[in-house]
Amino acid sequence: MTDVALAVSPSVTLSDRAAKRVSRILSKEPAGTVLRISVAGGGCSGFQYEYNLVQEHAAEDDLVLQKGDATVLIDSMSLEFMGGSEIDFVDDLVGQSFQIKNPNAVASCGCGTSFAV
């Protein structure tokens, strides 16, 4: 019998700026609303991030990020692509947006919502 090491994806973090923005958004939504971030095929680089406000409880295999009044859910399939990432919120001259600093991405597009692995 041999020992098998299971690969564990590093977790995802939520910056303080992103948590504040998520909290502000959720405060205007019905009680129980959370932000679900997922990875889908598409975009100009092959994969893209999707952001959806949903009223659902976390699935058994979801990663739940909780900071203050902010709750973000990430499904296990998306976590395979996002492990080790930081979710941030940027407000600069170009505009406001959530940005995911993903160490798994080998390329990304100018919009910041699509990437390649």
Question: Could you tell me the pLDDT band of residue 117, with boundaries at 50, 70 and 90?
Answer: low
Q: Give the closest residue to 80 by CA, choosing from 105, 98, 56, 59.
A: 105
Residue ranges per domain, the chain?
13-116
Judge: domain 13-116, CATH 2.60.300.12: yes
pLDDT grade for 27, boundaries at 50, 70 and 90: very high
